[in-house]
Amino acid sequence: MIIQGTETLTSLIHIISESLLTPVVILIVISIVIVILAFGGLINEFISRKAITSKELEDLVRRVSFSSNVNQMKNEISNSNLFDYQKAILTRIADNYDIGPEARKALASELISAEETRLIKKTNKTDILVRVGPILGLLGTLIPLGPGLAALGTGDIATLAQSLTIAFDTTVTGLSVGAVAFVVSKYKKQWYESELIDVETVAEAELETLNRW
């Protein structure tokens, strides 16, 4: 038994569902462009980046720890193989040598936290695509199946084939977007986490040395 008014509601839902296909396809295409650019950026960063080695980090910590004044400490940081943003944080900590130890420690923590937030934002797009990509693929799969099944009932094989083609294409594309986005986010987060640990290590040596003066 069909409740009165249900046909109107289901027809409305059907219209809304079919009208979503075009926006979903557009979003999938946009996602493809974003993830391709992100993957290209990952490769470029992998080729161009030269992270400091464990031995170099150890030597830098020792040189910072045995610095006799702020200028020498800043020169050691500037001449190291750290990335520019890492040097900027450590230099700002050294520039505040004249404030109290607790305030200096709080400032160092805030600078590192702010940089961590900035680095996290660099992976926001791919983090979103990890979830959104497969969802868009699923929507692109289910939406055309309605008309496809209706066409099957009337014997319209051509429409059914077209609907199934769209469904499979969007599924594969959505899953691919999610997979590539996951790889990009995974590697970038590993890099950034390692870089922040390096900053924290040198910053600890800085703070300890500044506190001795």
Name the residue among 188, 181, 189, 184 with its Cα closest to residue 135: 181
DSSP sequence for 149-212: HHHHHTT-HHHHHHHHHHHHHHHHHHHHHHHHHHHHHHHHHHHHHHHHHHHHHHHHHHHHHHHH
The pLDDT of residue 144 is 81
pLDDT profile of the chain (213 residues), mean per 10:
61 75 92 95 90 91 92 93 93 91 93 93 93 92 76 72 86 95 95 94 93 80
Distance in angstroms (rounded) separating the CA atoms of residues 173 and 48:
29
The pLDDT of residue 1 is 47
| Amino acid at the residue 150 | A
